[in-house]
Each structure stands twice: as structure tokens, then as C-alpha cells.
Amino acid sequence: MPAPMTPVDVRPFGLTDVRWNEPMAPYTTWRIGGPADVMVVPHNLEELRGAMRFAKAHGLPWTVIGRGSNVLVQDGGIRGMVIWMHDQFAEVRVEDGLLRAQAGRSFVSAAHIAIRHNLSGLEFATGIPGSVGGAVMMNAGAHGGEVKDVLAWADVMDEDGRLTRLSNRDLQFSYRYSCLKDAPKVVVEAAFALSPGDGQEMVRRVRQWSLRRSSTQPLSLPSCGSVFRNPPGTHAARLIEAAGLKGLRRGMAQISEKHANFIVNLGGARAEDVLWLIRHAQETVQKQFHVTLETEVRILGDTASGR
């Protein structure tokens, strides 16, 4: 197992919040994950540029984490630098029908702000517990809506610290995908083009969705949300349940008894147990139904033996 990363002087890069060998479990909704070599928490654009310069100067690979709702950090942790875009990068403003939100803003929070301004189009986001940046990167969606339906543009930063504004078309959206999944860029801010709406009607609809989620999803236990993408013409949960896997446990990880496309942490689950359940579900569904289940969750870092 490699030794922990030795702290170095970050002052030349203008960084004010750096955390060495930082356990990742507290930063993910699964509450699972080994340590990152170094975590940088940027508080403004210049500190984000400083993080890019720091990574380049030290030859560090880098990973962006927002609300940690769609990631599984493996037990060996993450090599290189993690950039944590959270409440310190979460300004929101509404102007001329656009809702502009920084990448660390909770997507749920941004949606509720839109509703309070009687702006319609982001209601679907009230059920997506991630960050704005993560939602743009993966074209998050729910209740028949997706980011691609309402995104006007996104400002992104490359590894040299350059800012670029990408249009909806530039992002090449498809189901749970944007080109940012394959490009070394950080979402800084996104703007959503919304329409005037009836605030009371939107609140009523969102409450109905919330009640349905509460009755059908295991919201009281740590999870990442949906583990698998829905295959064309069917639902991953339906296939997993039909394969007899609902409730299956491995260590302290379990395919939820309430919703088969959720894997929950019963307390102290390890990433290796979650990965075993993921692979077992994929193999079983493939064998029984000849359907390939693709993961929606991002799997980051190294196995415990790799550190």
C-alpha cells in the first residue's frame, strides 16, 4: 500500500483550503470511500484556477466531486487531486428568464428557487440530489425532464484555467450523457432558460412526486440513487426484481428491498461489496433476460489492494 501523499506548499497557487489524505466517505451520499491524496476546496474562480495550476505543476490527475450523489469511491481512495465544488461555489441569480447557478449549488435547491420565482422547467430537478455541475455533466433527468431540455449554456474551465462558454448544442447531450463526461473540464456555472409558470401548480406537482418517492425509494438509507441506466423499453429495477435479486446482501451493502435499482448502505458497507452486487446483478440479468445493464453511477479510485 503506497504511503500517504506528503503535504507540499500550496501558497504559490493561492489555495486557502487544502485537505491532505482526506477520507471520501463523508463527501458521498453512499457514505463510502477511501482517502483522496489531496482535496482542494476552491472558494472563487481564482482559487479554481490555482487548483488547475497546482495539479499541472505536480503532475496530479484530478477529479471533481459535487454533492457526491452519483459516485462510488472505491476503498483504496482516489489518487491525485479531488476538487470539491460545494456550498462555497453555490451562488444563484435569476435574470431575464434565466436561472444562473454555480456548479456547487444543490440542483434541488436551484429548482426550488426557480419555482419561487414562478419559473417553470426545472421542476424535475426537485428529485435529483446532486449538484448543478454534476447534473449538467451527466444530463440528469427525472419525471420526463432532462437538463438538455432547459440548459441555455454552461461555463467550463479547462486544465489550463481557461473559461469557455458551451451552448446546449456544444455539450452533445444524450441519455445521461454530455461530452463533459469525456473531457477534462470543470463546470463553473450553468444557465437554464425557463418559462413563466404557476408557482402553486408547480408546488402541488412537486409534492406529489415527493410523496411517490417516499413510498417507492429507500430514502432513509445512504445510497447513490439509481445504480443502473434504464435499458430501452424497460426499467432496470423491474429486471433486477424479476431476477430474484431484490434484498440480496453482500456484507453491509444490499439491493434495496424497496426499489431494486438502489443499493443501500446498511451501515459500514464497503465499496467492494457494492461492486460485487453491481456485477452480480449485471451477470444475472444478462443470463436470464439477455439484457445488458449499464451503470449510471461513476466509479472512482482504486481498490483497497491498489493503495
Would you name the residues annotated as active-site residues?
176, 226, 296
SS3 state of residue 64: strand
Measured over the CA atoms of residue 71, residue 21, residue 78 and residue 52, the dihedral's sign is positive
By the 8 A CB rule, do 165 and 154 touch?
yes
Measured over the CA atoms of residue 143, residue 144, residue 145 and residue 148, the dihedral's sign is positive
133 Cβ contact partners less than 8 Å away, ≥ 6 residues apart: 64, 66, 85, 103, 104, 186, 187, 188, 190
C-alpha cell at 91: 451562488
SS3 state of residue 264: strand
Residue 253: count of CB within 10 angstroms of its CB:
25
